[in-house]
Amino acid sequence: MTAESVLSIQGKRSSGTPVRTENVIAASSVANIVKSSLGPVGLDKMIVDDVGDVTVTNDGATILKLLEVEHPAARVLVELAQLQDEEVGDGTTSVVIIAAELLKVADELVKQKIHPTSIIAGYKLACKEACRYIQNNLTMNTDELGRDCIVAAAKTSMSSKVISIDSDFFANMVVDAAMAVRTSDGKGGYKYPIKAVNILKAHGRSATESAIINGYALNCTVASHAMTKKITNAKIACLDFSLNKEKMKLGIQVLVNDPAKLEAIRQREADITKERIEKILKAGANVILTTGGIDDLCLKYFVEAGAMAVRRCKKSDLKRIAKATGATFLTTLCNLEGEESFEPTYLGEAAEVTQERVCDDELILIKGTSARTASSLILRGPNDFYCDEMERSLHDALCVVKRVLESSSIVCGGGSVEAALSVYLESFATSLSSREQLAIGAFAQSLLVIPNTLAVNAAKDATDLVPKLRAYHHSSQIKTEHSQLKYYGLDLIEGQVRDNKKAGVFEPTLSKLKQLKFATEAAITILRIDDMIKLEQEPSKESGYQQALKSGQLG
Amino acid sequence: MECWRKDIELSSVVVQCRSLVSVLEGCLGPCGKAVLLEKAGCVIITKDGMELLSHLEVCDPLVSIVVRGVLDHTRVLGDGCKATLFLLHRLLSSLDTHVPQNSGTMQGIRRQRLIQIVQQIRNHVLGVVQRDVIKYGAQVYPLNSFEVFSHLLHNSAEDFFITKFSKLIARNLARLFSTYISCVCSSSRELVKLIKDLAIKAHTAVVEIYHMPLMMSHVLHGFVVTRNFRYLHRGMKFNKVCCAWWSMNLEEEEEEGLPRATIETSLREILVGGILIKRNSVERSLAHLSSLGTELVFSSLHFPDWAVSLCAKYGISLLDSVDGDERDFLAERLGVLPIMEERDVHPGVLRSIDKIEPLNLGTCRFMQLSGLGVHQILLCGPTPAQCRQFSACFLQFFRYLSSWVADCVDFSQSSDIYTCDAAAAAGCRDSFSPPFSPDELPRCELSPVLTEAHSSAPTSPTTVAMFFTVPHGGYGELLAKYLVSENISVNIKNTIIKSVVLDVFNELPSLLYRKSQFSQKSYVEFQTKLFSNFTELRNNNQVMLSHMLKDNRFRGYHNPFLLFKLLNCVLHLAEYLLRIECIVPAKQRISQRTRHCSSDSESE
């Protein structure tokens, strides 16, 4: 093993054990940041940036995203958290903690002169075996347990968040919202596109005054007071351009020598938009939503036609509305022939579009959408930060509900799965005669970090609780009459071991499987590194002007 | 490679809240004094907590969360800005003193303990105490009796304004308010609807008039446009005025960088014609309007002088630069279509206004339109700043009323009131005895709707009939304190939780009494007397705990739900603050250590 040596290019190279150790330290420092927010009794972090903007959150992915992590190995963990967030939406903190722990024990093994490739092979084998064991032994089918278990899974996801105290209220709300957007995937199953659940935030009032609304709520009002505020059998046009008076584009100069022609040009400018509006109205549209502006002149045409026009909608909202109502989101009226036209097929349909006063705000509600159903959640909280954190928590919970509904399989939470896996993998390791045995043992050991951290965060005696939990799982795996003990997990409020199936602490199976796979892969990626070359930019000491002055280019 | 973080100590949060409280403490309640705030040369004199807080610049991230939370909440409720902050400070400091900090235990454990206490108070104590305070202490009035309702509103308006301004001003403002409601509404149903509407658009009710004493304020039948005639045609009749709404652009919009059609000519006639294009088209429209019999043109745009002279030419009076809110209101009321281009001029755009007359008050020259079926409060103030304060206060008061009425309706519809036993229901009925003398108002009998409400199903919409009030001066808080300390409504076994709850309920009355020069000793004596009076009344099996003592009596009408709304917000905020474990600066670099790897020599 050689030490660092100066290369002929500017930079440093280091290889061997120091690199690995350094990577492991970087990874654990990232894990340490998020560690204390794990579990139902984890606390929040307040992140303040240089201009004083504040984010208060408990979500691992959000915390790590806001920190600027520069170390390459630590970056892998940050990306890992983001990946888990995108794929599952929940369990971001756990995945980082597991990955860091895997690295830590691997580093110990390497110090005992075990080659990293053996460890990597052992980790791969252990991960595969663990996933197989979860799927065969630990999962439960939600169809047998009914809606209660879905609500319970949502509650488990919220338990670590700021809304934990009202989790009964919000869990039911989330499940209702997810159920409302159910669509068939064409193969007999259902999909739950949770993006169709629109979350609006309004501050003031307490959190329990949040409400769920059937239909799509849009945080805008009609463009003119003279417009009608309620339309039944709405035909909706979604546009992505402004309906303002057309202006000549840059680079055109028209020279005329008759003032009447000048006036004609102006008239024509106004008429272009008018014709567009007439085309849209002629197609039967009575609700026009646009991302751009509509000027007063054009508003008049809509008022006269008795239509409802809403300007400055958010693009993401309109895209979703277009999907829900079956409308086409148009960026231009031009067709392939280069002429402007508006087909009635571009229109979406809804039973009713109204402007209503919900809570203290006027909102536009689109009810009875034809293509898909939609639902909206209106969140109330004492301030913006609280609402933001509520939104993040509800998003996680919605993801969990979606995963549970789509896969209809859940496992017990509260460290139950990890404890069971660690017991199982240890006995599996002893059955192997190859050198992977040690690595699998280490893998089993490192999974215990989840129950340990949970217990430590809850200020309970981890050295007392975790062995007790392992003993339960051991007996469930060797004695068939004790097989029900496999659902045992930690009760962090009372500091006991309890049956988490009865207590209703559930997590989606998918979340656990992905956690294990992602964490193992990230750990392997970092373990494989044994050489690091860092290039340093040559610092330019003088500015271009001074260089030029020196070389005599300037007189 | 350690991440920099700063742990948040609860005691430092308390200290920071304390500094905010000390700023606001002086102006609490009717005896509070106003605060002079100077900011960039601009002087603000106010007693209003919301105005003060929003002008303070808070740098600490944690305190700024508190301030924003309090302000947002008050903006919805309309009142209780200072009270929220005091309660929050008391809650946190009481938690800090009652839950000791052991050096042995972790910070996180203590936090968990505190969060649990806050959650328990919110879930198990608050709701029950609210129900019982209303059961024992609230006076109940039928909402459908308009006289009683408006009398209550008048008194509560006076009490509300007295916490913001001096007694004389408050009396005037309250009088204005009650005149206004008696002009606009004739039944409770209308009044409830009016209050709900006003909470979002107060500007339709209040017109500010500067440089006039407040005494001159009055309620006016009609709608005021806060502009004077730009041009008044000689001999125009003010009755049955035929008017139109002008929205055609008059100014050339010059946009930088945008090319436009240009006339290139040296012929004089064409040049002149080019300059007059706009003028000619405006002239044609005005001529057309004039031929249709238009006498008056409204516009929210500014008319340049040449356009005014055109109006004069055709004998049309002009009222331009009308405010946006007034424009929206008129457009909705009159159903008038704006003239956007030349072809819009047709008889369909004309509307008739019953009467229009100039209104000259102080330095203001305004127009008053009649026949729109509206009333407005003309609110006079010596200086613009004061006048704005008055109208802002009106807006707050409308919000406060709206949330009060909404809460009463919610409470009457909720099952809470039916879970109270029959005695309590009887108590509600017994308590209905107007505290004012019968000569003042006709004696109100229990309406059929109200009596029905006690027996019928809770979901029926006719149960909307009751209005709950408690007297001012910390009566609600003291009653709540009594109910908790005597274990009447809720039996809190945990002594820490109990003492925290008692501390919080004690905060506002003790501050109020300190304000009115009571010594601590006399306050305690007063409290003991009050509590023993409560006990006596309870022993006599009276459900209603009277708010009268021999020599001291609580007066006024206050929203009984407000205290609990505020407490709910305070507990939410407190829980939120307690959950924050540390401050982590964003964008901090977790980078490679600058340590040189020197350990390799050992391994070699």
Q: Give the chain A residue nearest B67 (alpha carbons).
A: A383
Question: Residue B108 pLDDT > 50, yes or no?
Answer: yes
Instruction: Report CB contact under 8 Å: A56, B601.
Output: no
Q: Give the chain B residue nearest A20 (alpha carbons).
A: B597
| Average confidence (pLDDT) over B547-562 | 69
Instruction: Report the alpha-carbon distance of residue A526 to residue A100 in Å, rounded.
Output: 10
Question: Residue B37 pLDDT > 70, yes or no?
Answer: yes
SS3 for B317? strand
At residue B449 the predicted structure's pLDDT band, cuts being 50, 70 and 90, is: very low
Mean pLDDT lowest among A119-133, B69-83, B189-203, B264-278: B264-278
Instruction: Report CB contact under 8 Å: A225, B332.
Output: yes
Residues in A closer than 8 angstroms to B109, CB to CB, are 459
Q: What percent of chain B has pLDDT over 90?
A: 2
A154 burial (CB, 10 Å; 0-12 / 13-18 / 19+) is buried
Least Cα separation, residue A304 to chain B (angstroms): 9
A250 in B contact zone (CB under 8 Å): yes
Instruction: Report CB contact under 8 Å: A225, B331.
Output: yes
A16 in B contact zone (CB under 8 Å): yes
Transcribe B236-259 into DSSP letters.
Answer: --SEEEEEEEE----SPPP-TT--
Q: Which residue out of B110, B268, B340 would a mutagenesis test of the A interface target, given it has the greatest number of A Cβ atoms within 10 Å?
A: B340
Question: Residue A31 pLDDT > 60, yes or no?
Answer: yes
Residues in B closer than 8 angstroms to A383, CB to CB, are 65, 68-69, 72-73, 573
Least Cα separation, residue A246 to chain B (angstroms): 12
Instruction: Report the alpha-carbon distance of residue B470 to residue B482 in Å, rounded.
Output: 15
Model confidence pLDDT, tens digit, residues B247-299? 887 776 655 555 566 667 777 777 777 677 778 888 888 888 888 888 888 88
Phi, psi (degrees; rounded to nearest 5) at B371: 85, 10
Out of B3, B72, B568, the one facing A29 most closely (by C-beta) is B3
Q: Is A228 among the residues known to form the active site?
A: no
Residues in A closer than 8 angstroms to B265, CB to CB, are 257
Residues in A closer than 8 angstroms to B112, CB to CB, are 41, 458-459
Window A:252-271, CB contacts with B under 8 Å: 252-263, 265-266, 270
At residue B442 the predicted structure's pLDDT band, cuts being 50, 70 and 90, is: very low
Instruction: Report CB contact under 8 Å: B581, A16.
Output: no
A539 burial (CB, 10 Å; 0-12 / 13-18 / 19+) is exposed
Q: Which residue out of A19, A25, A41, A43 would a mutagenesis test of the B interface target, given it has the greatest number of B Cβ atoms within 10 Å?
A: A43
Model confidence pLDDT, tens digit, residues A517-547? 999 999 999 988 888 887 776 666 666 666 6
Task: Write down the pLDDT at residue A425.
Answer: 93
Q: What percent of chain A has pLDDT over 90?
A: 15
Instruction: Report CB contact under 8 Å: B258, A52.
Output: no
Task: Write down the pLDDT at residue B429.
Answer: 37
SS3 for A27? helix
A293 in B contact zone (CB under 8 Å): no
Q: What percent of chain B has pLDDT over 70?
A: 82
Q: Is A93 among the residues known to form the active site?
A: yes
Task: Single out the catalytic residue among A396, A491, A509, A520.
Answer: A396
Name the most confidently modeled range: A195-204, B122-131, B497-506. B497-506
Instruction: Report the alpha-carbon distance of residue B575 to residue B10 in Å, rounded.
Output: 12
Task: Single out the catalytic residue among A57, A62, A93, A291.
Answer: A93
Mean pLDDT lowest among B321-335, B495-509, B588-602: B588-602
Which of A61, A63, A126 is CA-nearest to residue A91? A61
Instruction: Report the alpha-carbon distance of residue B320 to residue B250 in Å, rounded.
Output: 12
A3 in B contact zone (CB under 8 Å): yes
Secondary structure element (H or E) that encloses residue B581, with its range: strand B580-585
Task: Single out the catalytic residue among A55, A59, A273, A453.
Answer: A59
Mean pLDDT lowest among A176-180, B52-56, B276-280: B276-280
Q: Give the chain A residue nearest B255 (alpha carbons).
A: A247
A531 in B contact zone (CB under 8 Å): no
Contact B365, B358 (CB under 8 A): yes
Residue B125 identity: V
Residues in A closer than 8 angstroms to B341, CB to CB, are 270, 297
At residue B598 the predicted structure's pLDDT band, cuts being 50, 70 and 90, is: very low
Task: Write down the pLDDT at residue B551.
Answer: 53
A375 in B contact zone (CB under 8 Å): no
Query: Residue A495 — left, alpha, or beta (φ > 0 → left; ψ -120 to 50 → alpha)?
Result: left
| Average confidence (pLDDT) over A21-48 | 86
Task: Write down the pLDDT at residue B458.
Answer: 37
Model confidence pLDDT, tens digit, residues A54-73? 888 888 888 888 887 878 88
Question: Residue B596 pLDDT > 60, yes or no?
Answer: no
Model confidence pLDDT, tens digit, residues B397-433? 888 888 888 888 777 776 444 444 333 443 343 333 3
Task: Write down the pLDDT at residue A420.
Answer: 92
Structure-token pair, residue A420: 């069971």
Task: Write down the pLDDT at residue B545.
Answer: 56
Q: Which residue out of A58, A205, A267 would a mutagenesis test of the B interface target, given it has the greatest number of B Cβ atoms within 10 Å?
A: A205
Q: Give the chain A residue nearest B253 (alpha carbons).
A: A247
SS3 for B62? helix
Question: Residue A177 pLDDT > 80, yes or no?
Answer: yes
Task: Write down the pLDDT at residue B438.
Answer: 33
Angle A488-A492-A495 (CA atoms, 0-180°, nearest 5)? Answer: 85
Residues in A closer than 8 angstroms to B259, CB to CB, are 248, 250-253
Residue A169 identity: F
Report pTM: 0.82
Only one residue has tokens 């192997």, namely A432
Mean pLDDT lowest among A16-20, A152-156, B1-5, B326-330: B1-5
The conformation of residue A383, written as its DSSP 8-state character, comes to S
Out of B123, B581, B589, the one facing A36 most closely (by C-beta) is B581
Model confidence pLDDT, tens digit, residues B324-354? 888 888 877 887 778 877 777 888 888 888 8
Q: Give the chain A residue nearest B329 (alpha carbons).
A: A225
Task: Write down the pLDDT at residue B590.
Answer: 55
How high is the mean pLDDT of chain B?
77
Q: Is A44 among the residues known to form the active site?
A: no
Instruction: Report the alpha-carbon distance of residue B122 to residue B568 in Å, rounded.
Output: 7
Out of A48, A71, A263, the one facing B583 most closely (by C-beta) is A48
Residues in B closer than 8 angstroms to A45, CB to CB, are 580-584
Question: Residue B456 pLDDT > 50, yes or no?
Answer: no
CB pairs A-B closer than 8 Å: 236
Secondary structure element (H or E) that encloses residue A465, with its range: helix A462-478
Least Cα separation, residue B505 to chain A (angstroms): 20
A467 in B contact zone (CB under 8 Å): no
Instruction: Report CB contact under 8 Å: A49, B257.
Output: no
Task: Write down the pLDDT at residue B257.
Answer: 54
Task: Single out the catalytic residue among A57, A92, A369, A453.
Answer: A92
Q: Give the chain B residue nearest A207 (alpha carbons).
A: B572
Task: Write down the pLDDT at residue B447.
Answer: 34
Could you report the predicted ipTM of this complex, rounded to two decimals?
0.77
Least Cα separation, residue B2 to chain A (angstroms): 6
Window A:397-456, CB contacts with B under 8 Å: none
Instruction: Report the alpha-carbon distance of residue B532 to residue B482 in Å, rounded.
Output: 10
Instruction: Report the alpha-carbon distance of residue A132 to residue A127 in Å, rounded.
Output: 9
Q: Which domains does chain A have, with CATH numbers?
A: 11-141+412-534 (1.10.560.10), 215-374 (3.50.7.10)
Residue B232 identity: L
Mean pLDDT lowest among B109-123, B448-462, B584-598: B448-462
Instruction: Report CB contact under 8 Å: B584, A63.
Output: yes
Out of B259, B261, B587, the one facing A250 most closely (by C-beta) is B259
